[in-house]
Each structure stands twice: as structure tokens, then as C-alpha cells.
Structure 1
Amino acid sequence: MFNPAEFCWNELMTRDLEGAKAFYSAVLGWTFTPHDDAGTYWIARKDDTPVAGLFLMTGDAFEGIPPHWFSYIATDDLDAAMKAATDAGAEVVRPPFDIDCYRIAILLDVTGAAIGLSQMRADPA
């Protein structure tokens, strides 16, 4: 599931978690489990296999941004991938940070498209 240079995770960024869960449950048969105590991130599952995340967009950081699907590409060396990306003209939106067993970063490619890069951490503490 985590192969470098391949898409490895997708998240729905939305302001309506309940509407999204109802829609994807009806259309795709997904079930959902909360990932955090605040209820702002949910894991979508198909036959108990995680298939996507749903993220509640709240606050000023998301003002003017429409709901959308956001994708991550796997890398085996996030620092090297970020250097290559910025050398190639990418703009860093959010530098690398740790979340669960992953280290991720968000950038804009040279066309302005937002993308996440992700590396599985060796120490998933």
C-alpha cells in the first residue's frame, strides 16, 4: 500500500462531515470510524480496510477554499523529495511534520496544484 512515487492516501476536505459520510456510505458502501477525539478526522473503510480520510475544514486557514479531495504521494525519503521539489520550483505550503506513523509535507507543484508528500516513519511513536 505504501510504494514510493505512488499515490498512497486521499482525504476529503469538507465542511460537512455528516453529509459526506452519508453520501459515500450510500454510493460506495463505506463505513467510518473517528480518528480523533474532536471528531474532525474520520477514516473511511471498505470491508474494514482503510480507503480514505475525511477532514473537517474549520477556521480561517480554509476560508475561500472549496471542499475537495486531497492526495498524498509516498516517498521513502521526504527530506530528499522536498529538496528535489523545491529545486524544481515547488512552493512549500507546510514543511514536514509528524502525524501518527507518517511524516508529511504539503506543497504546490510548479503548476500551482497542491499535493502532499508522505513518508512512513521508522519510529511510529
Structure 2
Amino acid sequence: MTPHGHFNWNEFVTRDPERAKAFYQETVGWTYQAKKLAGGGIYWIAMMDNVPVGGIFHAEGPGYENVPDGWMPYLAVDDVDIRVKKAVAAGATLMRPVFDIPDVGRLAILLQPGGAGIGWITPFA
């Protein structure tokens, strides 16, 4: 498990996952595994030498209209719920309620002071 305070995952958020997949496949050599999302859609797990190295998330639907393409890093934290309270008290904005992804972890999506996006995750063991 990734230790508290270390980067755990990186995810490319895009309206055009096929373009992003082609770019990274051609330039870096990534291959992909499709994972069905609970709410529908596909999450693409980027692989290098059969090892997951990141993900590609299709930003579609309500709430994503003004989200530009870009990388979203995720930090591992020891307790998302406690850390989010501290982050909000320190000036961060919680973008959506904390949520669980089965077999992955408990996540929060924040805008830190200054506006940069950051994901926090307490991975499930």
C-alpha cells in the first residue's frame, strides 16, 4: 500500500479518451485495459510492461462541462474523511462528497487554495 503523503495514482481526465489513448500509445508505448464503471462508461487503465501506471477518465455528463483536459494526481492519505475536514478548514473546496470505489479505496476530489485540483485516496487493503 502507498504510504500516507505519497502519490498513489495519476489519471488523465479528458472528453476524448480515444485521442488520449492513441497519443500515449504512440509516444510512450502504453497499452490499456478497460474497466466498466458502476454508473456506466469505461475507465481505461494505462499499462506499461503489464503494470498499471495510470488511468484515463472520460469526462462526460453533468458537472464536467467546464473541466479542461488535464492530469489529476491522487495522494494517499491515512484517513480521507479526517484529512478532508482539515483541508476544508485550511481553505480547500470539496468538489463532491467523499466516495468509495469498490476494490480501490475511499476518495475525495478537492480544489486546493489557489484552484489546483487534487485527489486524495485511502486505498483499501
TM-score over 0.5 (shorter chain): yes
Distance 2:53 2:18 in 1: 18
Q: Does 2:29 align with 1:35?
A: no
Q: Which residue of 2 aligns with 1:19?
A: 19
| Matched letter for residue 18 of structure 2 | E
| Matched letter for residue 40 of structure 1 | I
1:39 Cα shift? Answer: 4.4
Alignment of 1:72-91 (within 5 A): 72-91=74-93
Of the three residues 113, 116, 121, the one matched with 2:119 is: 116
| Matched letter for residue 113 of structure 1 | A
TM-score, normalisation: structure 1: 0.89
Indicate the larger mover: 42-51 or 31-40.
Answer: 31-40
Superposed CA RMSD in Å reads 1.5
What are the Cα deviations for residues 27-57 of structure 1, in whole angstroms up to 9, with x where unaligned? 1110001011654311000001100010111
TM-score, normalisation: structure 2: 0.89
Structure 1 stretches of 4+ moved >4 Å: none
Distance 2:57 2:19 in 1: 12
1:105 Cα shift? Answer: 0.6
Distance 2:89 2:68 in 1: 29
Count of residue pairs the alignment pairs up: 122
| Matched letter for residue 84 of structure 1 | K
Work out the percentage of aligned pairs sharing the same amino acid: 46
SS state at 1:94 partner: coil
1:59 Cα shift? Answer: 1.3
Give 5+ residue unaligned stretches, structure 1.
none
SS state at 1:35 partner: strand
Q: Which residue of 1 aligns with 2:2?
A: 2
Distance 2:67 2:77 in 1: 27
